[in-house]
Structure 1
Amino acid sequence: MDLMGGMQKALRHMLVARGVESTTVQVGAQTVHHYALTGQGKGPPVVLVHGLGGSANGFGRTLFGMAKRFSRVYAPDLPGHGFSVEYCGGEVCVRNQFDVLRAYVEEVVKAPAFVVGNSLGGAMAVNLAAEYPEWVRALALVAPAGAQLPEAENTALLNSFVVKSPAEARAFTRRLFHRPPLPALLFAYELRHFYDTPTVRALTAEALATRACLEPEQVRNLAMPLLFLWGGSERLLPSETLKWYRAHLPAHAQVRVVDGFGHVPQLERPDELVSHLVRFADSAEL
């Protein structure tokens, strides 16, 4: 077993020991691993959607805080990520990943949810809210991808996921955090196993070939309560992403640029992220 795989399994065991359900579910013909935790709150169910190369484990330290405020918290591993098997329904592409997410909400969550998406998961959450608004009670975008970027910026972003040396691994890791923890830097080259997978390679190749991105009207027409969180120390996504979203978000969206947040605050500042999400939920009377 590789080091990162062992650490991921150890984290799963810890979450299960604390009462989190870790199971696989059939979503259509696809087997998907997910975490589910029954909450003590009265808010709607929450669905936490990770980004490219990420996993549900990345939200492990937010599950319990969210469960205090909401009725149930879900965190699926998208196909080819975390403990979910590779996509088995044909070509690996962003649209098929999205179709699995949509089916997961419809068949597993079975209720309009507060959907929280990070990075690619943020772009997919926008798609879900735009195409199937009946399943999205409210939306939180945490450093979301999906903006229309200049070709050079888009190519540089996607090429950054190709890590071929320890130095490149450390450089990529530094781009994810406000202050990268020492263990993440020490084991940065091992972290490449999260990004050097058939699924991630296929998705980045598709994005390079097609420059797939959101359309402005998909964002502009979102009618549900909406929170947009951007890290003051965001280094992975180019600043043009924030500008694009600011230009197209609906007027009712709450936009917060948070000092001390990098690209993955669920890993680095989980309690602060939960605080922002709960404060937003309170303001939206969820």
Structure 2
Amino acid sequence: MDLMGGMQKAMRRMLVARGVVSETVNVGGQAVHHYALEGQGKGPPVVLVHGLGGSANGFGRTFFGLARRFSRVLAPDLPGHGFSGEYCGGPTCVQAQFDVLRAYFEHVVRTPALVVGNSLGGAMSVNLAAEHPSLVKALALVAPAGAALTPDALAALLGHFAVKSNADVRALTKRLFHRPPWAAMLLASELRKFYTTPTVQALAADALATQASIAPQAVRELKMPVLFLWGGSERLLPPEILTWYRQHLPAHAEVHVVEGFGHVPQMERPDAFVSHLVGFADRASL
């Protein structure tokens, strides 16, 4: 029995029962699952982009709070994650994922949005804002990857995802949360499935092989409002990433180190996470 798969499907059923649309759309030649919720707010659409090994379900507890402030809430499963089919795109796996994400904005979102990117999703959101600024009304980065690291530091970071045992999964889980949920620790054997998929392993291998990072100039030249959130309990990403972004983000960017936040605050502290996004939207007059 696929216990975690069953739990993911149960969460999807719960979201659908509360009015969230769960559907598969064809973008960039790929079948991509996403959630869509019509909002009651006057703000732009908000698009939530998860990280490596994550899924749109990770943002599920934020949908309804965001819907009160924004006109629409969208959360795609990147290819090979969540309910989207396995996909990499060969040796340029990271670029292939980005191309699908860009196509999702062009063909599904279709209007400038507040883009919220976490971890790898944060790095891709920066690239989206830099290369296609017409798609991004404002940018919120939550513990984003993408900063230049030494080869050894990058290998150590990606090595956390090379889970070969339940102990490895428990160690990774401890790095993701301010206080790791006991259920996740008990279900380590099931959680291994999230990090051993062909797509996740291919993405990690591609990132390591190419030593990919965002060009500092791309970050410095961001013109839209930018929010940068870093957890006071961040244990997955090295502190050099926070330093790099502080050095290169434009002067108008808001940078906040939030106590009680780990790497995935949308899962652990969804109400506080929504509050930060809403406050940012208010200050930016979105």
List gaps (5 residues or longer) in structure 2: none
Q: Indicate the RMSD between aligned Cα atoms, in angstroms.
A: 1.0
Q: Is the 8 A contact 1:29 1:89 kept in 2?
A: no
Aligned residue number for residue 281 of structure 1:
281
- Per-residue CA shift, 1:8-43, capped at 9, x if unaligned? 000000000000000000113111000000000000
Aligned residue number for residue 104 of structure 1:
104
Aligned residue number for residue 129 of structure 2:
129
Q: Is the 8 A contact 2:88 2:199 kept in 1?
A: no
CA displacement at 1:92 relative to structure 2: 5.7
Aligned residue number for residue 250 of structure 2:
250
Give the direction of change, closer, same or farther, for the CA distance of 1:17–1:124 in structure 2 (3 Å limit): same
Partner secondary structure for residue 60 of structure 1: helix
Aligned residue number for residue 238 of structure 1:
238
Give the direction of change, closer, same or farther, for the CA distance of 1:150–1:88 in structure 2 (3 Å limit): closer
Aligned residue number for residue 95 of structure 2:
95
Give the direction of change, closer, same or farther, for the CA distance of 1:154–1:183 in structure 2 (3 Å limit): same
Give 1:1-286 correspondences, 5 Å limit.
1-87=1-87, 91=91, 93-286=93-286
Partner secondary structure for residue 192 of structure 1: helix
How high is the TM-score relative to the length of structure 1? 0.98
List gaps (5 residues or longer) in structure 1: none
Q: Separation in 1 of the partners of 2:241 and 2:108?
A: 32
CA displacement at 1:168 relative to structure 2: 1.5
Q: Is the 8 A contact 2:88 2:202 kept in 1?
A: no
Q: Separation in 2 of the partners of 1:110 and 1:234?
A: 33
How high is the TM-score relative to the length of structure 2? 0.98
Give the direction of change, closer, same or farther, for the CA distance of 1:11–1:92 in structure 2 (3 Å limit): farther
CA displacement at 1:185 relative to structure 2: 0.9
Letter in structure 2 aligned against 1:229: L
CA displacement at 1:88 relative to structure 2: 7.0
Q: Is the 8 A contact 2:88 2:203 kept in 1?
A: no
- Per-residue CA shift, 1:230-283, capped at 9, x if unaligned? 000000000100000001000000000000000000110011000000000000
CA displacement at 1:52 relative to structure 2: 0.4
Partner secondary structure for residue 260 of structure 2: coil
Q: Is the 8 A contact 2:166 2:192 kept in 1?
A: no
Partner secondary structure for residue 180 of structure 2: coil
Structure 1 consecutive aligned stretches of length 4 or more whose deviation exceeds 4 Å: 88-92
Partner secondary structure for residue 255 of structure 1: strand
Q: Separation in 1 of the partners of 2:189 and 2:92?
A: 25
CA displacement at 1:87 relative to structure 2: 2.2
Partner secondary structure for residue 12 of structure 1: helix
Partner secondary structure for residue 139 of structure 1: strand
CA displacement at 1:189 relative to structure 2: 2.6
Q: Separation in 1 of the partners of 2:245 and 2:189?
A: 32
Letter in structure 1 aligned against 2:101: L
Q: Separation in 2 of the partners of 1:235 and 1:6?
A: 29
CA displacement at 1:188 relative to structure 2: 2.1
- Per-residue CA shift, 1:54-109, capped at 9, x if unaligned? 00000000011100000000000010000001227555611110111111011001
Letter in structure 2 aligned against 1:84: S
Q: Is the 8 A contact 1:117 1:140 kept in 2?
A: yes
Q: Separation in 1 of the partners of 2:88 and 2:167?
A: 34
Q: Is the 8 A contact 1:37 1:73 kept in 2?
A: yes
